[in-house]
Structures are given as C-alpha cells and as structure tokens.
Amino acid sequence: MKFPNLGSCFFFILFAAQCGFPTISEAVGIQLPGAPSSENRFGFFIFGDSYVDVGNNNYINTTSDFQANFPPYGESFFPVATGRFTDGRNIPDFLGEYANLPLLPPYLDPHNDLYDYGVNFASGGGGALALSHQEQALGLQTQMKFFKRVDKSLRKKLGNARTQSFFSNSVFLFNFGGNDYLNPFDISYDIFKTIDAQEQFVNMVIGNITKALKEVYKHGGRKFGLMGVPPLGYMPSSRLKKSAQFFEEASSIARLHNKLLPIALHKLSKQLKGFKYAFADTHTLLLQRILNPSRYGFKVVDTACCGSDEFRGVYNCGRKLGSLPFTHCKNLEDHMFFDSFHPTEKVFKQLTEQMWSGGLEVVKPYNFKQLFDYEPTTLASQ
C-alpha cells in the first residue's frame, strides 16, 4: 500500500512518461517452510504492493519505510519478521494454503531459483505507474521484467510446451492502485478535484494493469485474480490528516477504480480466448468491517495497533523516526489495522476466506477456488 512521500520527483502530475527502476542490493535470505520442490501442474504468481508482498523489499536498496523485516512485524505467526507488512500472513499466503501450495518465496530471495509452485514479485510501495515510489520500490514494469526471467528459466528447464501448460493452469494475482492514487495527495489535495482528472488518472493506472495482463496471457497465462483498491480514506494514516477534502477525493477515486477495473477485465475476457478472472471487491469487504466491526470480531477500526500519534496514524511501527516513539497495542485481536496502512493477519484471513469461496456479491465472475480448480480447456470452452 502507500508509504510516506520521500521526494517530490513523483510529481509527474498528472501524466508524465514512465521511467526508472530501483537498484537491487544483496541481502541474506529468510528461509520459509514449504513443500519439497518438484514439478507441479500449476503455480501461483503474485504481482503487487505491500498488501501482497512477502519480502522482496528485503533485497532492494531502499529505506525502512519500505521494509517490514523487523519486529513487531510477523509477530503472530513467523519466528522472525519476513518482510510482510502485517503481524503475520497475508492474502497470498492464505490463498496458497487453500490451493494446497507451500508458502511462496519472494522472487529476490537469493536462495530461491526454483519456480515449481510459482513465486511472489510484489513490492511494498509498488504501483502500476513506474513513477510511484520509483526510487524505493519495485513497480509493475520491474515485476514484469522479473516474470519474463522466470518464464525464460522455466522454458529452459521444462521446454516450451510444458511451460505453456504450467502457466495456463496457474493463477496470476495482481493488486495495484493504492500507491498510485495516494501519492499525488502528498503534493496537493487538489489533484483529483474534478471527476475528469480522476477518470483520466484511473484509466492510466488500469491501462498499465491490463497491458501487463495481456503480456502474461501471451506467455500462456489464462487465469487471473484481481483485488480492488481498499477504502483509502479510512486508514489510520488517512484519519490523521483530518481533511474532509482528502477523505472525499481519496474515497471517490478508489470507488472509480473499483468500478472501471471490472469493466476492463470483462472486455479482456471478450477479446482474449480462454481469459478468465476473479475480481475480489476487497474495498467492500474492508468497508463492511469498518462500518460494522462487532459483526466480524473487531472493536477498534480507526486506530492501528502499532504506530504513534492520534489513531497511531504515524507510520513508524518498528522504526525509529523523528521524536515520536511508536507504541504497540496489547489487544491485537481487537484491531483491524496493524500499522497505519495495513490490516492485521486476522483481517487478511477473513478477506481471503471470502475471496476463496464467496459469492458474486464479493468476488466475480468466479471465486478463487473456482479459478484454481478450472482446467484451461474448460475455461476456453466457456
């Protein structure tokens, strides 16, 4: 998701050319539990931001704002912090579990060069636009470069036909938009003041996403999962701003993205034979919990468990930033947000359960169980 602005070079506003990729630094890998490597019929590949990152940012040249490989991150599940921006597991972890896959490693883990079950390319702070945190995170364009390297590696190992079959059976998850929409507000609250400006910007973000989907399709991918942009105005970091204008415009552009993305996906399904997708309305799922917390087992939805200042909205969980030390709650299970931007493992698990087996009101036209279960020949004939 979104992180504090670390430089106003982002201000391409509204629509400058894409550019630049971060430098990767060497780092020590974190070994995660998983099944023994073997050739698998299908895999799971993840592209996106901090809601789905499992530790790629541990291995890039960035700052602690864009990392989560230190306590208290991971405290609810992992013996050490892995780089996930929550207290435990996140959505790809649970989806993989439900699909009977092991925990997928980050692509940049130097100990990982096998992709028999897929791999995770996501990067905290990454956006669909290259200029979203271009110096601190791995954007969609860089993640796609990594995917092409994986494709090349698999084709060398398995041959073209088997790699094509593997990709056609696999699921490709994309989660982008939050960073692209929140970053411009660090420059001005007037950037998205008109609906025309919002539409033009959203179309650019979705255009980059659909371009990537088409590229994966060319390499054999047929089954795609997409997540909606969360309710940006309700995060603890957003509440700290105490700006009605920010709340209205951030909420509006998130709703617009979540309206236009399914339309674009439906068009792709008509254009590309065998292209099938699951769009998870994570915006609605999160908002349901924010507006009716007790129904889902929460007591605190406005204040993060870890951070500082009002709502613990200052993004310094586990970090030594400025004069405000972070504080950590004693009642984690009651909280929706672990830090000022990111939900708790409890929330991620609840969302994933509905993404996996939910009805059309939360995930459509297929849920993720159906998407994983479908055979490409079955998909192509529908």
Q: Is residue 264 included in any domain, yes or no?
A: yes
* CA atoms of 86 and 341, how far apart (whole Å): 10
Residue 25 located in a structural domain: no
Q: In whole angstroms, give the CA distance from residue 290 to residue 298.
A: 9
If one compares 31 and 366, the residue with the highest pLDDT of the two is 366
Structural domain boundaries enclosing 62: 44-373
Distance CA 282, CA 343 (A): 12
The CATH number of whichever domain residue 136 belongs to comes to: 3.40.50.1110
* Res 320: pLDDT: 78
- Please tell me what DSSP assigns to residue 9: G
Single pTM value for the model: 0.90
236 within some domain: yes
Q: Is 207 part of any domain?
A: yes
Q: If you average pLDDT over residues 31-59, what whole number do you get?
A: 79
The stretch 40-52 carries a mean pLDDT of: 95
Choice between 12 and 241, residue whose per-residue pLDDT is larger: 241
Buried b (16+ CB within 10 A) or exposed e, 120-140: bbbbbbbbbbbbbbbbbbbbb
Dist. CA 211–CA 217, nearest whole Å: 10
pLDDT tens, 335-354? 999 999 999 999 999 999 99
Measured CA to CA, the distance from residue 237 to residue 304 in angstroms comes to: 9
pLDDT at 149: 97
pLDDT at 33 over 60: no
Residue 16 lies in a domain: no
Q: How many domains does the chain have?
A: 1
Single-letter amino acid code for the residue at 261:
L
Residue 349 lies in a domain: yes
Residue 141: the pLDDT is: 97
Residues with Cβ < 8 Å from 306, sequence gap 6 or more? 72, 312, 317, 318, 326, 327, 328, 329, 338, 339
Closest CA to 17 of 204, 145, 146: 204
In a domain, 8, yes or no: no
Residue 32 has pLDDT above 80, yes or no: no
Average pLDDT over residues 42-70: 96
Q: What is the pLDDT of residue 191?
A: 86
Residue 361 counted as domain residue? yes
Cα–Cα distance, 108 to 67 (Å, whole number): 14
At residue 36, the pLDDT reads 38
Sign of the Cα pseudo-torsion (363, 368, 374, 376, in order)? positive
Average pLDDT value over all residues in the chain = 89
pLDDT 10s digits, 125-155: 999 998 888 889 999 999 999 999 999 999 9
Residue-level pLDDT at 281: 97
Spacing of C-alpha 184 from chain mean position: 19
Question: Which range, of 53-67, 92-106, 318-332, averages the lowest pLDDT?
Answer: 318-332
Residues designated catalytic: 50, 339, 342
Q: How far apart are CA 160 and CA 168, in angstroms?
A: 12
Q: Using DSSP bridges, classify how beta strands 44-48 and 306-307 pair: parallel, antiparallel or unpaired.
A: unpaired
Crossing angle of helices 195-218 and 140-158, rounded to 10°: 10
Residue 69, pLDDT above cutoff 90: yes
Give the per-residue pLDDT at 113. Answer: 83
**Residue 123, CB-side half-sphere exposure with 13 Å CA sphere:** 34
